[in-house]
Structure formats: C-alpha cells, structure tokens
Amino acid sequence: MSRANVRVRPAAAEDIPGLVDLTRSVDLYSGQFSGRPIVDDGTEHLTRRFAEILAEGVRTLLVAVDDSLVVGLLVARPDTVGAIDLTPVLHVSHLLVTPSHRRRGVGRALLAAVVHVAEERGVDRLVATVASGSREGNRYLARLGFAPLVVHRVASVSGLRRSLGLADLPERMAVLRRARLLRGQRSVSPRAARRA
C-alpha cells in the first residue's frame, strides 16, 4: 500500500468530530483498554471526553490528518514508571489509526511527533499501553523497540470479591453480630433479667 500524505499536529476543537469518527471505527467497544465495553451512547460521550482532554491541558492529544481527514490519534500524558520508581516518562495510552490507513506510516508519524514532545519536556522514556489481546499492536511496538515493562491486569471489584471469598462478607458479619447478641442474651439469667 502507498504511504499516506499525513501531517501530524496537536488536536484542536474542530478535530473532535473526526476524532469521534476515528475512535468509533476502531473496535474499542470490545473493552480492549478497560476490560469492559465503552457504553455506546452515540457520539455524545466521546465528544465530551475529547473536549475535556483538550481543555484540561495535562494530556497531549495529537492527530494525524490526511487531506483534512483525521486518520490517526495519539494521547500521551506525563507520568512516572511507577509509584516507587519515579523515573519520568511520557505515557502513550492510545495510539489509534483508522483501519483504512494502517501500514501507511501513520502510527510511525504519530510516534515521531511524540518523541519530539518528550524531548521538549526533557523526558527520556516513553511507555506505551497496548491491549494484551492485540497481537498486531504488541508486535508493532516491539518492532519499534518498546520492551515489556509490566503487565496490567484488570478485574471488576465484584468479581474480585467473589474470588477472595468476600462476596458475602456483609451478610456474614450481620449473622455473627446476631449470634453474639443472642449469646449475650442467653448468658443473662432470667432472675438477673427480672431484677434489672
């Protein structure tokens, strides 16, 4: 496939409809990032979220544009390697390219732009998040030199409660309290209770 004639730049408010269309063209609804599907309430949620990202000024939102069509996006934010290792990194949480423009240099152009952002900020490392089930995404980043760092696993609180045997903890506590109260009432003799 031929190379796309792509220009990468910071996103602006007028890019939001294109960002929404791009995001909806990629299968984010499978829950590849959060472990659960995005609630598909039309474009309202995504429109609001992109507007918030642009307004907050913490994250960097880059767009790849081909003939005024948004064909790729990258979201990055300043971070550290971890809670204990405070090495500064630029965390790329979303690198998305519309399916029709893949294998045409769009992802490479977005990553080249974020390298410049990192250098401007004096950050020496990039961390990229990719869905564990995305073989293509994992291979792509590995070819570019990204090495595995950690594996993030996601679980629902209710599922983890069940796995840990905590699912019925509130009910068990109520039963224990009632049993304790009954034992306390039985230990008081009927005569002592009458005197009191």
70 Rama sector, left if φ>0, alpha if ψ -120 to 50, beta otherwise: beta
CB atoms within 10 A of CB 22: 23
Domain 6-153 architecture = 3-Layer(aba) Sandwich (3.40)
Quote the CA–CA distance of 151 and 136 in Å, as a whole number. Answer: 17
- The pLDDT of residue 31 is 45
Tokens of 38: 């995005």
Q: Would you write out the chain's pLDDT as a tens digit for each of its 196 residues? A: 456 689 999 999 999 999 999 988 886 554 444 444 555 556 888 999 999 999 998 999 999 999 889 999 999 999 998 889 899 999 998 999 998 898 999 999 999 999 999 999 999 999 998 887 788 888 999 999 999 888 777 888 888 878 887 756 666 667 777 888 887 777 655 555 555 5
Q: What is the dihedral of CA 162, 163, 169, 175, to 10 degrees?
A: 90
CA-nearest of 89, 148, 153, 152 to 115 is: 89
DSSP track, 30-93: G-TTTSSPPP--TTHHHHHHHHHHHHH-SSEEEEEEETTEEEEEEEEEEEES-SS---EEEEEE
- The pLDDT of residue 192 is 56
Average pLDDT, the chain: 83
Could you tell me what percent of the chain has a pLDDT over 90?
48
What is the value of pTM for the model shown? 0.73
Tokens of 91: 């965390």
